[in-house]
Structure 1
Amino acid sequence: MHPQRLRLDLGILLPDVAGEADACVGRLINLLMAHKGIDQAHVLPPVGGQPAQLCIHYDPQLASLARVRETASSTGAELTQRFGHVLWEVQGLPNARRARTVTGLLSRLPGVLEADASSAGPVRIEFDRSVTSEATLRHALGGMGVAARDETPAPAQAHEHEHTHGGPFGANSELIFALLGGVLLVVGFLASWLSAVPAWLPLVLYLGAYGFGGYFALRQAMDSLRLGRFEIDTLMLVAAAGAAALDKWAEGALLLFLFSIGHALEHYAMGRARRAIEALADLAPPTAERRRDGATEKVPVAELLIGDTLILRPNTRIPSDGFVTLGESSVDQAPITGESVPVDKRAVADAARAAARPEGLPAENRVYAGTINGSGALEMQVTRLAADTSLARLVRMVNEAEAQKSPTQRFTDNFERIFVPIVLVFVVILLFAWVVIDESFGESFYRAMAVLVAASPCALAISTPSAVLSGVARAARGGVLVKGGGPLENLGKLGAIAFDKTGTLTEGKPRMTDVLPAPGVVEDALLTVAIAVETLSDHPLAAAVVRDGQARLGAGVAVPEAADVRSLTGRGLAARIGEDPVFVGKAALFAEIEGPPIPAAVQASISDLEARGRTIMVVRRGEDYLGAIGLMDTPREAAAGVIRRLRQLGVTRMVMMSGDNSRVAQAVAQQVGLDEAWGDLMPEDKVAAIQRFRAEQEVAMVGDGVNDAPAMAHATVGIAMGAAGSAVALETADVALMGDDLNHLPFVIGLSRATNRIIRQNLWISLGMVAVLVPATLAGLQLGVAVVFHEGSTLLVVANALRLLAYRDRTAA
C-alpha cells in the first residue's frame, strides 16, 4: 500500500514559532519520524492564502490517520511547553558591535539555544524552559545594560534602570561623557602652556579626559574580550594606552574624545533613522470611542474586539482597521499607504456580509489604523485586533527588516572580524621596528600606535548599517515596506520586472461588457447561475460579474443559492446549485473536466469576444452550456507613466504575465508600453518564466501577493501591491507597496539605487581612508592628525547615509 499523506497547519502545532525556519520545526520533524509508521515529515512553505503546513507521509497499516494526527498534536504541544521563543523590543543596543556582544553573552547563558540581538531593536531568544525562564533572561539582559521597552521599572529601581540605559545621564550619557572629556582635554591643553599652573594639573585634567572619553569604549571592550573577540573599541583603548605610555597624554585624550564623540553622534544618527520608523507606532490613537448597547464609551485601543462599532469624529485619527458602516468622508491614508490625496470612503451596503469577508471589500469601504478622518463623521466596524492592524504589522515587520543584514553588510562584518586581528598582529610587528632600523623603541612604539588608529575600520563598521537603516526608514515613510537590507540592495540591481496583469497594471475592477446566451437560453438564466457561483468568490472578475450582473437583471429576479464552491486554480470555479454541478471559467477548463464539449455556437461567441480583447467566462449547469460572459479590465491611469519612469531608472526589460488569454494580455501591454506580454499562464508557468529570467539577470515579480506568491518567492525580489489591505501580501513579499498605487514602484527602486550609491561611497571613503592613513603614519604622520582624519571619516559616512532620509523621487517631476 502506498503511504498516505496528512497536512496539518504548522502554526497550530507550534503556535509560538516565528516561521517554518525555526529550530523547533526541525525538532518536531525529528521526533515525528522516530514514531512507528511515519515515513517522512517535511514543511510546505506558505503559498497564497495557505499558511505553512507540516506534511506527514505515513503507512496506514502501521498507524491510523487519527493516531498520526494525535501524535503530531501532542508532540507539538510538548515542544511548545518546553521551548520558549521571545521577541523583545529593547533599549541599550546603540550599534551593531554592541548588539553582537549581547548576542554572544546571551548565547552563553544556561538554557539559551539561540539568540540574536539587533541594533535596530528586536532581541530574539529561543530557550529551554526546563533550564531557564523569561524572567531570568530579562534580568540577564538588564545586567548587560539592555532593557525591554515594555519593562516599566518600579520607583525603587528607577536609578538602577537609568544606569542600564547607558549611565547617570540616561540616554544622553555617552554624548555628555564625550563632551566632558573634550572640555577637560581643552582645559588641560591650555593649562600646559601656562607657567603659573602647577605641573601636575594638566596631567590630572588629561586623566579626567581619559576617564570620560574611554568609559563606554572600555565597557564595550571588556564585554568583547569576555567573548574572545577583539573589536574596534579594543584597538582604540590600546592606542590611547600606548600614547599615555609615551607621555603623549594630549594625543591619547584627543583620540578618546573624537572616538567617543563619533560614537555618540553615530548613535544619535542611527536613533534618528530609527525614530522615523517608531513614529509610525504613535500614529494610532491610544483610545477609541466605542458604541455598545446604545451607549458610547472611551476604551483603550488594546481592548477593542473584532465586531466592535466605533464612532469616528471629523479630523481625528482612526484607531483600528475595519470598514465603514455609516456616513461618508474622505480619509488621509498617507501615513500607511503613502497616497498623496485623501481617499473617499462610504458605508458598505450589507454590514453582516462585509464582516464575513472583510478582505474582499473595495478600498472605498475600508479604513486603517493611523489614518486621519476628514470632515465627515463615520461609524466603522473593527475587523482586526490592535496587534494585527496594518499599522501594527508594518511597524513590527520594519523592525524585523532592520535586523536582516544586506550582502554588503555581511561582507563588512566578516571583513572587520578578520581585519582587526590582522591589524593587531601588524602593530605588534611594528613595535619591534627599532630592532631593524636605527630608531628608539619610543619612536617605534609611537608609529605603531599611529598605525593602530589609522587601520581601525570604524567608518567601515557603520557605513552599510547606517545607509540600510536610513533607506528602510525613508521607504516606510513613503508607504513602502522593505523587508531588510537584502531586498533593499537587490531592488537597485534589477534588470527586469515581471508584472501580473489584473489588479497590478490594470485597475482590478473589470466590468461586464458582453452577455451571450447559448441558443435556446434566456439571458436571465445565464446571469443568475453565474452570479450565484461568483458571489462565493473574492476574485475581482467575480465581483464584476456579481455587481454588473445584478444591475442588468434588475430587482425582481431571484438568484439561486450555490454551495460546495471550490477553486480550480487558474481555470475557474466549480459549485453546486440544487443537484446540478455548475462550472464557471475559461474555455480551457471544459476540455479538462468530464462532460460534453463547448457547442460550436458558444465557441464562435468566445472567439469573437477574445478577438476584441475580452476576458471570457463560460457557464455550464449540469450537461447544458448556458453561454459566455465577456469582461474587460482597463489599465491603470498611472501604468504607462510608471513604465516610462522605470526605463529612466535603467530597468531594461519589462514583461506582463497573465492568466488571461494572450490577446487580452497583448492589448493591455500595448496600452501601457510594455515590451512583452505572456497570456494563458498557470501559477506554475509564471514560476518557470521567473526562473528563466533569473538565469539571465536580476528580476522582480510584481503582483497582489496571493495568486502570485509562488512566482514572487522565486524572483530576486517579490513586490506586493496594496499590501495594507492584505495580510497575505504583507507576509509574502520582500517589498510591499502599502497603497494600491503603482507610482510607489519607481520611488522605491530609485531609493534602492540611491542607497546602493551611498553604500559604495561609504565603502570607498572608509577603506580609502585606511589605505591612505596607514602608509602616511608609517611615513611619519603624527598620531593626532591620524586621529582627526580617522574619526572624521566615521562622521562623514554617517552624515552621507542620513541623506537618504531626505530622498526625493526625481523621476516623478
Structure 2
Amino acid sequence: MKFRWLQGIAFSEPGSCITACVPIVNPRSLTEEQAMTMKSTSLEQPISIPPVSQRCTTILEDTLEGYAGIRDVHFSTEDGHLRITYDPRILSPERALHLVRQAGQKAGLRVAQCGVKGEQACALCAAQMGESVHNHFSRLMTASSTQTLFREGELIISLNGATAPGSNQAVVESLFPSESSPEISSRPTFLFSFSRRRLEILFTLITALATLAAYLGGLYGISPAFQNGLFLTAYLLGGVFGLIDGINALREEHKLDVNLLMIFAAVGAAIIGQPLEGAILLFLFSLSNTLQTYALERNRQAIKKLLDLRPPTATVRHGSRIMTLPVEKLVIGDIVLVKPGERFPVDGEIVRGNSEVNQANITGESVPVFKKSGDAVFASTVNGNGALEVRVTRLAQDTTLARIVQMVEQAQNSKARTQTALDAFEQIYAWFVLGGAVFLTLIPILLFNQPFYPTFYRAMTWLVVASPCALVISTPASILSAIANGARNGILFKGGIHLEKTADLKVIAFDKTGTLTTGIPVVQSIIPAEGVTEEELLRLVASAESRSEHPLGNAILEIARQRNLPLSTASEFRAIPGQGIEAYVEGRAIWVGNERLFHERGVPVPPELKQHLNTLKEKGQTVMLAFTPGKWLGIFGLADSIRPNAREIVQSLKKVGMQKVVMLTGDNEAVAHAIAAQAGVDEVHAGLLPQDKVAVLETLRHRYGQIAMVGDGVNDAPALAAADVGIAMGGAGSDVALETADVVLMADDLTNLPHAIFLARRSRQIIWQNLTFALAVIVLLVVSAFGLNLPLPLGVVGHEGSTVLVVLNGLRLLALKKV
C-alpha cells in the first residue's frame, strides 16, 4: 500500500522493528487523532510564517485569545512554534487544533512545509509523530515496551514483543491511513520562508543600484523610458515586502501598518514628479527594515548559539563495548564517557570519577564546581581534569540547556506592558498621521487655494517624518537584549512583563532556609563538661552518630572527620524520633539528644550546662547534649550556616536600589534574628506558616510597594506566587523552580540576583531613553518640515536613522557587564 505521508516502510525479521521514511509534511494538516496524543493542557503546532514583522503573530494572538477556554498564547517566530495553554474542561484537543487551523487561515499563512533542511521534517513534527506512534503501538499491541526515534528522515519504531510483520503493517496502516494523510506540497515557501531575509538584503541592494543608476542617468541624458524603468525597479523591489505586509494587515487585522504610510509617501512623490525622492525613501526604508531584522536576529541567535555548545556525539559504554553515538540516540540510563576538557553531551549523574566542572553557560558561576559520584552535570558544560562516567538522566531534547533556550524564546515573544501599550497607541497614532496627510492636502487646496505641488509635497513629508517606526521598535529591542543577557549569565526571565516588574521592585523578601542559608546544619559550638576534653567529647559522640542519618548527627560526624579523629565502632544503635539517639561505644552507653530525651529519662541537666544551653539558644543555635550513665560529656550548638556571600549580596541589592531587604521564615525568633544579623537584612518575620508568608507579603506591598520573593521554588511556592515577582534559585537542578517562578537563578546561590535587578532597571532606563529620543525626533522633524521646509529625503534619513539608532541602543544591553 502506498502512503502519501510515509515514503516507505521496512520490516525487519521477525517484525521487531519498523522503519518509516517521513518526508516534509504540512503541519497544519495534523490529524485529529494525532492531536489527541498531545498534552492535555498544551497544544504545540509548528507553523512557518513571514519572519519580518509581528503581523502574523498579532493575528494569531488576537484570534486565539478571543476564544473561550484559551488561557495563553505564545508564538516564536524563531522556531515557528505556536504554544497554546487551554482549559481541557472547556476545549477538547480536537477543538483546540481546529481553532489553530482557523487562526492560521485568517492570518493568510502560506504553509508549505515545516522544515527547511533538505527533505527532513522539523524536530517538533518528528517528536509529535513519534509520540503518536508510541501511544498507538503501546495501546494497540501487546508489546512489553515501545520506543520511537526520529533521525535523518526516518521514524524508527522498536518493539519488544512477539508480533508478526503483517500485524505491524496493519497497525501502521491504521495509524497513517492514505485517505486521511495530508498532501505533501513540493512547492517551496519562497517569499515566506527563511529566504526572505536574504531576499530583503538582495532587494535593498538592487533598489540602491537602480536608484543611483536612475539619478546618474538623468545627469548624463539617458532616455526617459529607461530612467523610468530603473525607478520602477527601485519602487517594486524596495516596496514589495512593505506593501504585502501593509495590505495584509489592513485587510485581515483592520490595522494601519507603518509600511503603508511609507508606500503612500513614495507613490505620492512619484505623482508630483519626484520619483527620485520616492526611490530614496523606499531604499532607506528597506535598508532600515533589513538592519532591524539583522539586529534582532543577532539578538535571538545569541541564545540559540547556546545549543551549539552541546557536542553532536557522545562516547557510550555498552557492557564491554565502547561506541560513538549521536546525542539524539542516547536513552536514559546509558553510560557516557567524558574525557578531561570535553563538554558533557547530555544531562546526567556522575557514577564514577570526580572533576572540576565549568558550568558557567548554564548557571553563570565563574568558578568551576567540584563534582563527584552522585552529583548532577548538565549538557554543554565543560569537564575539567578528571575522566568521568555519567549516567544519562534526560534525553537530548529535554536537557536543562534545551529547556532554557525554549523558555527564553517564549519569554522573548511575550509582550511587556510598555510594548502592549505602544501597540495600542500605534494604531491610533498611525490613523492620525494618515488623516493629517489628507487634511494637509485637501484643506489648503480647497479652502485657501494653495498650489497642489508644494501642498502635496508637504503632506508626503509629514507622512514620513511623523510615522512612529522608532517608537514602536524602541521597547522590543531592549526587552529582547535584556532577556538574552540574563540567559547568558544564568538568569532566566520568563517574559518581558516580569522583566519590567523586576525593574519596579522596591522590596525583596528572602526565605531563610536554603536561600540565605545553605540549609545544612554545621557545628557552631562545642562545650565539654568538667573533666572531659573537647577531643574526647567529639570522638565519642561522632562514633555514636556514625550510624545516624539525621542532619545534626551528620554535622557532628563531619567535623570529627575534618579533625582526623579516630572513631570507634558503635553497636546497639537506636534512633529515638524527636529526641536523639543512643548507642554503645567502647563498651559504654552514649546518649545524644535534646532536653526532652533526658527529661523523659529522669536525668536533670546540671546548672552549669543549663547556663551554656540557654546562651546557645539565645544565639539561635540548636542544642544537643551528650551523656554517658553517671557522667555528662558536654554540649553541641548547631545552626544552619549562612551562605558565605549572603551579606555581600544584601549590600549589593541595596546598592542597585532595593529600599528594604526582608527575611521570612518558619523558624523561631532566636534563630531568625541570628541569621538576619549575619546577613544584614532590615526586617525579620519569624514563626510563619506558608499562608502567613502570603499575608506578610501583602502587608509589605501596601507599606513599601512592589515586592519580590526569593526562594527555592518548592516549599515556598505560595509566597512566590503571591509576590509581584517570584524568584527561584537553583533552577539548573530543579524542574519545580523552572516552572513556578517568574525569574529563575540557574545557580544554587544568590550571586546573580543583584545583576538581575540591575539588568531589569538598566533595560527600563534604555526603554525610556528610546521612547524619549523617538518622540523628540518626530517632533523635531515635524517642526522642521513645516518651519524650515525640510526636503523629503532628509525627512526619510531622520526617520529611518532614528529607528536604527533605538535598535542599536537597545542592543547595548547584550554587552552589559555583571555588577
On whether the aligned pair clears a TM of 0.5, the verdict is yes
Alpha-carbon shift at residue 314 of structure 1 (Å) = 1.4
1:694 to 2:722 alignment: no
Answer yes or no: is the 8 Å Cα contact 1:243–1:249 preserved in 2.
yes
State how far apart, in whole Å, the 2-side matches of 1:222 and 1:311 are. Answer: 57
Alpha-carbon distance, 1:312 to partner:
0.8
Shift of 1:251: 1.2
Asked if 1:437 corresponds to 2:448, the answer is yes
Cα distance in 2 between the residues matched to 1:586 and 1:705: 31
- Change in Cα spacing, 1:78 to 1:182, as seen in structure 2 (3 Å) is closer
The answer to whether the 8 A contact 2:64-2:100 is kept is no
The residue number in structure 2 matching 1:32 is: none
2:538 and 2:560 in contact (8 A); partners too: no
Distance 1:455 1:483 in 2: 34
2: CA distance, partners of 1:597 / 1:683: 35
Write the letter of the residue equivalent to 1:242.
G
**Which of residues 756, 769, 772 in structure 1 aligns to 2:777?**
769
Question: Superposition pairs for residues 285-684 of structure 1, below 5 Å?
Answer: 285-348=311-374, 365-433=375-443, 434-513=445-524, 544=555, 556-557=569-570, 601=605, 607-615=614-622, 630-684=637-691
Please say if 1:165 is aligned against 2:165: no
Structure index of larger Rg:
2
| Residues 505 and 146 of structure 1: CA distance in aligned 2, closer, same or farther (over 3 Å) | farther
Deviation at 1:600, TM superposition (A): 7.9
Residue identity opposite 2:512 in structure 1: K
Does residue 178 (structure 1) correspond to residue 182 (structure 2)? The answer is no
Q: Say whether the 8 Å CA contact 2:112–2:188 is kept in structure 1.
A: no
Please state whether the residue corresponding to 1:463 is helix, strand or coil. Answer: helix
Give the conservation status (yes or no) of the 8 Å contact 2:538–2:556: no
1:298 deviates by 2.2
How far off is 1:757 after superposition?
Answer: 1.0
Give the Å deviation of 1:759.
0.3
Structure 1 regions of 5+ residues with no counterpart? 1-76, 349-364, 566-571, 575-583, 620-626
Q: How many residues align?
A: 680
Judged with a 3 Å threshold, the aligned counterparts in structure 2 of structure 1 residues 673 and 82 are, in CA distance, closer, same or farther, namely closer
Structure 1: which amino acid aligns with 2:764? N
Distance 1:283 1:649 in 2: 33
Give the letter aligned to residue 655 of structure 2: Q
Q: Distance in 1 between matches of 2:49 and 2:557?
A: 52
Q: What one-letter code is carried by the residue in structure 2 that aligns with 1:637?
A: P
AA in 2 matched with 1:772: L
Select 2:241's aligned residue among 213, 216, 220.
216
Shift of 1:116: 5.1
Give 1:135 deviation, angstroms: 11
Equivalent residue for 2:219, pick from 193, 196, 207: 193
Amino acid at match of 1:636: R
Q: Which residue of 1 aligns with 2:51?
A: 93
Kept in 2, the 8 Å contact 1:322–1:368? The answer is yes
Q: Deviations over 1:573-622 (max 9, x none)?
A: 99xxxxxxxxx9999xx9xxxx9999985998864432232146899xxx
Letter in 2 for 1:476: A
Name the SS for the 1:746 alignment partner. helix
Deviations 1:223-276 (A, max 9, x none): 212212211112111222212211211111111111111111101000001001
Q: Which amino acid is the alignment partner of residue 761 of structure 1?
A: Q
- Select the residue among 266, 278, 293 that pairs with 1:252: 278
Q: Secondary structure at the match of 2:246?
A: helix
User: Cα distance, 1:694 vs. partner?
Assistant: 1.4
Note the C-alpha offset of 1:709. 1.8
Q: Which residue of 2 aligns with 1:356?
A: none
**What does residue 257 of structure 2 align with?**
231
Deviation at 1:384, TM superposition (A): 2.4
Which residue of structure 1 aligns with residue 144 of structure 2? Answer: none
Aligned: 1:799 with 2:758 = no
**How far, CA to CA, are the matches of 2:661 and 2:368 in structure 1?**
31
Distance in 1 between residues matched to 2:710 and 2:423, nearest whole Å: 32
Contact kept in structure 1, 2:540 and 2:567, CA below 8 Å? no
Is 2:337–2:389's contact at 8 Å kept on the other side of the alignment?
Answer: yes
> Within 1, Cα distance between the matches of 2:735 and 2:384?
26
- C-alpha deviation, 1:674, in angstroms: 2.4
Of 738, 748, 768, the residue aligned with 1:730 is 738
Cα distance in 1 between the residues matched to 2:729 and 2:543:
32
Distance, in Å, in 2 between the alignment partners of 1:134 and 1:525 is: 71
CA drift at 1:675: 2.0
Query: Given the superposition, is the C-alpha separation of residues 384 and 83 from structure 1 closer, same or farther in structure 2, using an over 3 Å criterion?
Result: closer
| C-alpha distance after superposition, 1:726-772 (max 9, x if no partner) | 11111121111111342211212111111111100111112222222
Contact 2:43 2:97 in 1 (8 A): no
Compared CA separation, residues 778 and 684, structure 1 to 2 (3 A): same
- Tell me the distance in 2 between the aligned counterparts of 1:771 and 1:789: 11
Alignment-mate amino acid for residue 308 of structure 1? D
- The sequence identity of aligned pairs, in percent, is 39
> C-alpha distance in 2, partners of 1:81/1:804?
36
Shift of 1:315: 1.1
Q: Any conservation in 1 of the 2:579–2:594 contact (CA below 8 Å)? A: no
Deviations 1:119-168 (A, max 9, x none): 4554235786369679979996997356886564539978714443155x
Q: Displacement of 1:201 after TM fit?
A: 2.3
Query: Residue in 1 aligned with 2:171?
Result: none
Provide the residue aligned with 1:204 in structure 2. Answer: 229
Between the aligned partners of 1:585 and 1:499, the Cα distance in structure 2 is: 31
Cα deviation, residue 672, structure 1: 2.9
Structure 1 equivalent of residue 174 of structure 2: none
Which amino acid is 1:665 matched to? A
Give the unaligned 5+ runs of structure 2. 1-34, 87-91, 121-183, 530-536, 581-591, 627-633
Question: Residue type matched to 2:52 in 1?
Answer: P
| Secondary structure of the structure 1 residue equivalent to 2:649 | helix
* Structure 2 residue 123 is the aligned partner of structure 1 residue 123: no
Which of 692, 711, 722 pairs up with 1:714? 722
Q: What is the alpha-carbon distance in structure 2 between the residues aligned to residue 147 and residue 573 of structure 1?
A: 70
Alignment-mate amino acid for residue 765 of structure 1: F
**Is 2:765 the partner of 1:757?**
yes
More off after superposition, 91-100 vs 663-672: 91-100
Does the Cα contact within 8 Å between 2:508 and 2:709 map onto a contact in 1? Answer: yes
Take 2:439 and 2:218, find their aligned partners in 1: how far apart are those partners?
Answer: 34
CA deviation string 1:409-461 (max 9, x = no partner): 11111111222222222222222121222412333322222111122111111
Structure-2 separation of matches of 1:713 and 1:184: 58
AA at the equivalent of 1:794: T
Residue 160 of structure 1: SS of its match in structure 2?
coil
RMSD of aligned alpha carbons: 4.2
| Structure 2 match to 1:154 | 119
- Code of the residue aligned with 1:501 in structure 2: it is K
Q: Shift of the alpha carbon at 1:183?
A: 1.4
Change (3 A) 1:525 1:307: farther
For residues 165 and 654 of structure 1, what CA distance do their matches in structure 2 show? 50
Alignment of 1:277 with 2:284, yes or no, is no
CA contact (8 A) 2:64 2:99 kept: no
Structure 2: distance between partners of 1:256 and 1:598: 95
Using the TM superposition, give the Cα deviation of residue 322 of structure 1 relative to its aligned residue in structure 2, in angstroms: 2.1
Alpha carbons of 1:600 and 1:698: their partners in 2 closer, same or farther (altered >3 Å)?
farther
Q: Which moved more, 1:609-618 or 1:780-789?
A: 609-618
Task: Give yes or no for contact 1:145–1:163 (8 Å, CA) kept in 2.
Answer: no
Partner Cα separation in structure 1 for residue 72 and residue 643 of structure 2: 47
C-alpha deviation, 1:181, in angstroms: 0.6
Q: Deviation of residue 395 (structure 1)?
A: 1.1
